[in-house]
Amino acid sequence: MDTADAPIVDAAGAPEAPCVEIGESRESRVGAVPVRRALPRRERRTVGPWCFADHMGPVRVTEQHGLDIGPHPHTGLHTATWLIDGEVLHRDSLGSEQLIAPGQLNLMTAGRGVSHSEEATGSYRGTLHGVQLWVAQPDETRFGEPAFAHHPMLPRLEIDESTLTVLAGAFGGVTSPARQDSPMVGVDGVIRPGISVWPLRTDFEHGLVVLSGEVAVEGRPVRSDRFAYLGIGRSELVLDAVEPARVLLLGGVPFGQPILRWWNFVARSRQEITGAYEQWRARDGRFGEVPSDLDRIPAPPPPWSR
């Protein structure tokens, strides 16, 4: 995903005791599609290793025009694409060409460098609605090989009034097959009216993105496109829904290490970012080539080098 307008991230938010900090997602635009950005936010840069969450659409797409995000690079992070509705075609510099549909997960690992595009499918016309997520990689893997995995089947479970799909990590006794480089969890919840009680790991901090409808946490209403930071040390989350809702739970062990994020790069220093910027600009091979008809997205110069 292109994130030219995203703020520079220079620190992880310190985890807090169980709390309900509610904030509104920021309106933005990625390619041709309106998005609401839940993460990062000024007061909360990361939740576990999750460092970016865009709720995109719903928007109408055609066979020829969809996200229309041309080839662009990433470093030091995993991108996760999760669709509620519609289809997207992923292409990357590893040679992957993968159609994704709702209920499936595309997980790309950037490591030291990868590039990809997100395109119309040539066959799908209708509504596109989903979430784009980034997960920061720890030092042990962030200089490693890039990779791409498509997970057509993910574990699902029912808890109270919720139908849950586990995108990443383990939850409620089931485990996602998706790679994780540090302890984390990501869960999609389709919630029916009533009370649902979800089990949580107390060593994780958590956040809740409400994609549609409304749920109450400890009597606090969390509406569509609000993000609720829930803190660390909770053994369960009680969700009270007065109407059907769709939510995304993100969590993990607090990342611990401050990350520096600029444009599509996650790193630890300005020097690393400047290097990635220059190498993408020079087309020197670090990020490979994406076989795409869309234009390659130029990197804007980092603010400290202007």
Q: What is the C-alpha to C-alpha distance for residues 91 and 82, in angstroms, rounded to an integer?
A: 16
The nearer residue to Mn ion, 167 or 239, going by C-beta atoms, is 167
- Quote the least distance from Cβ 254 to Mn ion, whole Å: 25
- Quote the least distance from Cβ 72 to Mn ion, whole Å: 6
Q: Can you tell me which residue has the tokens 């962030």?
A: 142
Q: For residue 108, state whether it binds Mn ion (rule: CB under 5 A).
A: no
Applying CB under 5 A, the span of 1-9, 123-131, 159-167, 235-243 interacting with Mn ion comes to: 1-9
Phi, psi of 4 (to 5 degrees): -55, -30
Going edge to edge, which strands form the sheet with 214-217?
194-199, 236-241, 214-217, 220-223
- Quote the least distance from Cβ 271 to Mn ion, whole Å: 22
Cα separations in angstroms, 138 against 97, 115, 144, 187: 27, 19, 10, 21
The nearer residue to Mn ion, 1 or 248, going by C-beta atoms, is 1
Q: For residue 1, state whether it binds Mn ion (rule: CB under 5 A).
A: yes
Q: For residue 56, state whether it binds Mn ion (rule: CB under 5 A).
A: no
Tell me the two tokens of residue 105: 């997960």
The nearer residue to Mn ion, 97 or 160, going by C-beta atoms, is 97
Tell me the two tokens of residue 278: 């220059």
- Quote the least distance from Cβ 156 to Mn ion, whole Å: 27
The nearer residue to Mn ion, 1 or 136, going by C-beta atoms, is 1
Q: For residue 114, state whether it binds Mn ion (rule: CB under 5 A).
A: no
- Quote the least distance from Cβ 242 to Mn ion, whole Å: 36
User: Which of 108, 69, 63, 107 minimizes the C-alpha distance to 86?
Assistant: 63
Q: What is the C-alpha to C-alpha distance for residues 147 and 113, in angstroms, rounded to an integer?
A: 10
Site of interaction with Mn ion (CB under 5 A) = 1
